[in-house]
Amino acid sequence: MSVVRVGRARLAMALPQHRKQLLSIKSAELDDLFEAYALSAAALERLSTQTPIQPELVAEYRDICASIQTEVLRLLAGSGAAGNA
């Protein structure tokens, strides 16, 4: 599975109210965000299970994932698709 598809699927799980739009919308800009989200979420998972835990780095990657989610929601709203669940 491509990194873009992984990121799209992860975001669909993280934002269930927007799942239908996330799985159907086509956008190069969103594809870049899907890829970034896949990589950031995977890094967050790795960091969360490493010992010793590095709380600052875990918090940084949580913030990155949250920022990507916010940007995706902004783009969905701009496409007119955000309200269609």
In tens, the pLDDT along 25-77 reads 999 999 999 999 999 999 999 999 999 999 999 999 999 999 999 999 999 99
Tokens 């990155």 correspond to what residue? 64
Tokens 């669940």 correspond to what residue? 85
Q: 62 near 55, Cβ under 8 Å?
A: no
CA angle 44, 46, 52 (to 5 degrees): 105
Q: 29 near 43, Cβ under 8 Å?
A: no
Tokens 């996330």 correspond to what residue? 22
Whole-structure pTM value: 0.88
The SS3 assignment for 21 reads: helix
- Does 79 score more than 90 pLDDT? no
